[in-house]
Amino acid sequence: MEQQPIRRHIANAYVIDPASGFEGRQDLFIAAGRIAGRGEAPAGFAADEYIDAGGLMLCPGLVDLRARLREPGEELHGDMQSELRAAVAGGITSVGCPPDTLPVADQVSVIRHQLGRAAELGLARVHPLAALTQGLAGQHLAEMALLLAAGAVGVSNGDRAIAHSGILRSALEYAASLPATVFLHSEDAQLGKGDMHEGEVSTRLGLPGHPAAAEAIGVARDLLLAELTGARVHFQHLSSAAALDQLRPALLRLPVSADASVAHLHLTHYDVGYFNTHAKTCPPLRTHRDRDALRAALRTGQISAITSDHAPWHEDASRDTFHNAAAGISGLDTFLPLVLRLVDEGVLSLAQAIERVTLGPARILGIPAGTLAVGAPADLCLFDPEARFIVQPQRFHSRGKNTPFGGWELRGVVRQTYVGGRLVFRGNED
């Protein structure tokens, strides 16, 4: 790791900056960890390093709203060193961390541990989400004010919906008073107990179904409570057209937002095939109609961020029966290439795609990232958009190899990643 920031001149890159709307060839200058200039060098600027980025694209470092780093407590599946290394190898410079660690992030010590380890490692920036309720059990409120003061950027109950409406109302009132953004996994707790989407595939496999109605009911209730309390609510990893129908009118009058996981933007319940545990997700993969509705909402901005929803697991966690297997996909290594595939498939323009993984999530987290403005922190992703590769999970930087995308041919390889002007990743060029 570099000990001192140096002055860099990145020349001839194709620059995409969603914050300013700029897209074109331009030079960029870095000094003291920040962007010192674009186009023309600042007066008196003398570079310590010149980088010819011809043929490469330069964008703000990616911001991932939700990546589980498995530390503290679940180091069998990954730790902050392995997962943050995977993040910067994927061009991700800021990571939002759910509170579902062991122990749960309902203690100040957990938030401090994550921030301290991130500073020690010097890879991607870490932005912890604190627990909404103690132990994520949905019974008693966590000490949100203390957790935010320790450095958390929002509060969440992870992938667990709060069944008791009265407790959720109190939690939202508390969060609104701080104020803090509440990141919710919304579903009806009773209907949402199935192993996969309720439909013809679950029927064929004989697995208990998780109907889309479970999510729609959850979103409808949570929107009503958000309006009642005045809380700012972000809906995590929406998966269904029915939930979007609930959300769409509320976007016009309430401070709410939503994201979708990149897996749900590509896959459907048919990808479960014959009990493919790597395609088990929370919420479950749904129908082509649902996937297309998510894509349409992403295009219009009703969904304002794409997340990896990274959930690395040791291989033993996927070797169990589908019912018992852990849900979630190791997503950091394939995040940017899968986003670029949405461009190839005509879902988004290149500028829209970059915006949904930089400025969009940065605004939701409330962090100063996702921009190439002069004076902003020099968090950068320099990638080769034409480099193609076959996804080989065993070559992932993440400790988790659990992915349903193995064997896919994708494009987009990160060559360099900078955080605060420091080079934190340099990839091979062959």
Tokens 């707790």 sit at which residue?
189
User: What region, left, alpha or beta, does residue 39 occupy, with left being phi > 0 and alpha being psi -120 to 50 degrees?
Assistant: left
Both structure tokens of 214: 């479970």
Q: Any residues with CB less than 8 A from the CB of 166 and at least 6 apart, and which?
A: none
Q: Identify the bridge partners of residue 355 per DSSP, sorted by sequence position.
A: none
CA 390-392-393 angle, to 5 degrees, is: 145
Burial class (CB in 10 A: 0-12, 13-18, 19+), 183: buried
The DSSP letter of residue 208 is P
What is the token pair recorded at 91? 């061009």
Q: Does the active-site annotation cover 309?
A: yes
User: How are beta strands 422-426 and 409-419 bridged, if at all?
Assistant: antiparallel
* Signed CA dihedral, 105, 329, 84, 347: sign only: negative
Catalytic residue among 27, 106, 188, 309: 309
In the chain, what's the furthest Cα-to-Cα distance? 70
Q: Cis omega before residue 283 (within 30°)?
A: yes
Within a 13 Å sphere around the CA of 294, how many CA atoms are in the beta-carbon half? 27
Beta strand 256-261 pairing with 233-235: parallel
The residues that are catalytic are 309
